[in-house]
Amino acid sequence: MSRWEADVEAWIAGDPDPLSREELRALLARDDDEELARRFARPLRFGTAGLRGPVMAGPSGMNRYSVRRATQGVVAWLAQRGDDVGRGVVVGRDARHGSPAFADEVVAVLLGAGVRVWELPAALPTPFVPYCVKTLGACAGVMITASHNPPQDNGYKLYAGDGAQILAPDDEVVERFAREAPLDPPLGSRDSDVHEWVTADVLERYRTHLLERFAPRGGSDLAIVYTPLHGVGGESARDLLRRAGYRQVHVVDAQFAPDPDFPTLPFPNPEEPGALDLAIRLARETGADLVLANDPDADRLGAAIPDQGQWRALRGDEIGCLLASALFDAGIAPGDVVATTIVSSTLLAAMAREYGVTFELTLTGFKWIARAAREHRLAFGYEEALGFAVDDAVADKDGLSAALALARLAHDLAASGRTLVDRLDELEERYGVHATAQVSLRLADEAAAGRVVALLRAHAPTTLGGVAVRAVVDLRDGWRGLAATDGLIFELGERGRVVVRPSGTEPKVKFYLEVTEVTGPTLRARRAEAARQLRAISDDVRALAADVA
């Protein structure tokens, strides 16, 4: 008899999916404890962006029952808070495997509990959900998506009534209520009086607002290549770019239609090496000026630019500081705030100091960035993982508005005979070189990532890349007023720093490197020295991680 039999039978008793029940019974019948352990030993937890995991039966996977239980947890959480559920919950989904069925479960559970539902009419970009939460005055929002994760994954992202992702302890409350959820909740149907489809005019208000803010006057001859990486951003992004007046918009046909298998990509993440290869090939063929790429749920933006006859993908820190420079030049109102995370470049802080703008440092994750301004307005926020907030209509990262903003900057620079490369040069001449890199190591599971950080905590390096580690900051103790989190900062004095943390969405441990205060007679020489130093630190970090992994 399998050691998991009682757990499996208890799960089967509530699982509404007959195929999942059959799958689990087959595993029990052949005493496949290894596979059952994968599905039951580590139930999904609300992490950096809600639930996320492989589509499979059992509490460790995304499936109809885990979604049903999570939604019952949301209903109980709203009741505990005393929220007026007549304000409604916005529900959206992407085009991943399982997304339509999971959205059906969310809607049915909410309606069965008497909660008003505002449902998006199709598979649409994630930013539409937080936008609708704010615009419709809803009390929460749910988006079924795994963003840029591999094709076997899906997820459940939960937004609070302010349109931002939920924070602790709300995530723990939802999780506890989900565990205690009854087996057979009442379910509603879409013919209910409290179900409404989000109408086209609501989504058009979002588009109109962005176009009024970021469309160049008189249109533009800037040549753009765009790819949604097989995700749901394609139609929305192409429509926005064309309506903004960009007369030369080329799309990567092989990646334009939503496809949950992401057949042209090793990982559907614009950060990953090779993700922009097809777009860059098309850019060369068409003589484009700019490549723009959204991740599969279109809340992130990747970009590539021509530089001395070659195309290169921009790092998130480079895009962030380019976007910030445009917003600073346009003027940021007194009291407005700009923000980024502890793993992003320190260049934004230097820019904010010069402009006299309030700067806030946050933990990793847009749930923190979105609330960094507190009672003021967040004029701009970004994280190095290609997440950007250029307009506070959406209290989350938004790859569509960021694409419009970056294209507008490229257009404005071209009008004066300059490029995005020129702007990057100007920023580093003005504020000094801020060279960043990331080392990301994929491990067997999330627990392994935590163990690597724990071992580095116990055995911290004394040097990295030949530079002395001047101090070690343990983020579990909190730092500079930030909440405690699992991570470390190895400070290299004036030369930079290395931040290490387990990923909140994937089984990875990530190292974020920054080198600053390099000297040299020219910008080119200073960049070369910074690159050399980054390589040395990266080599040491990889060796260190291999030793403890």
Q: Per-residue pLDDT tens for 319-357?
A: 999 999 999 999 998 899 999 999 999 999 999 999 999
**Confidence grade of residue 545 (pLDDT, cut at 50, 70, 90):** confident
Nearest Cα residue to 316 out of 264, 251, 389: 389
Averaged confidence pLDDT in the chain: 95
Q: Does the pLDDT at position 446 exceed 90?
A: no
Distance (Å, whole) CA 55 – CA 152:
6
Identify whether 147 is a catalytic site residue. Answer: yes
Say which residues have a Cβ less than 8 Å from residue 409's Cβ, sequence separation at least 6.
Answer: 322, 323, 325, 326, 420, 423
Q: Render pLDDT for 472-516 as a digit per residue (tens, 0 to 9).
A: 999 998 999 899 999 999 999 888 999 999 886 677 889 999 999
- Both tokens assigned to 300: 């992130």
Q: Does the pLDDT at position 548 exceed 80?
A: no
**Confidence grade of residue 48 (pLDDT, cut at 50, 70, 90):** low
Say which residues have a Cβ less than 8 Å from residue 464's Cβ, sequence separation at least 6.
Answer: 490, 492, 498, 537, 540, 541
* Alpha-carbon distance values, 102 to 35, 64, 75, 118 (Å): 23, 6, 16, 16
Residue type at position 150: P
Q: Render pLDDT for 14-40 as a digit per residue (tens, 0 to 9).
A: 999 999 999 999 999 999 999 999 999
Q: Render pLDDT for 167-204 as a digit per residue (tens, 0 to 9).
A: 989 999 999 999 999 999 999 999 999 999 999 999 99
Q: Identify the structural domains of the chain with CATH numbers, from first to last.
A: 1-41 (no CATH), 43-198 (3.40.120.10), 204-429 (3.40.120.10), 433-548 (3.30.310.50)
Indicate the pTM of the whole model. 0.95
Per-residue pLDDT, 549: 58
Q: Render pLDDT for 122-147 as a digit per residue (tens, 0 to 9).
A: 999 999 999 999 999 999 999 999 99
Nearest Cα residue to 298 out of 497, 93, 74, 87: 93
Q: Does the pLDDT at position 47 exceed 80?
A: no
Mean pLDDT of 144-159: 96
Q: Does the pLDDT at position 449 exceed 90?
A: no
Partnered with residue 8 across adjacent β-strands are: none
Do 399 and 347 contact (CB within 8 A), yes or no? Answer: no
Triad 227, 441, 264: Cα angle to 5°? 25
Nearest Cα residue to 177 out of 308, 43, 73: 73
What would the DSSP string read from start to end of 333-396?
Answer: -TT-EEEEETTS-SHHHHHHHHHT-EEEEE-SSHHHHTTTTTTS-EEEEEETTTEEE-STTSSS
- Both tokens assigned to 18: 């007959």
Q: Break the chain down into helix, strand, coil percent, rounded to 5.
A: 40, 20, 35
Of 20, 60, 99, 147, the active-site residue reads 147
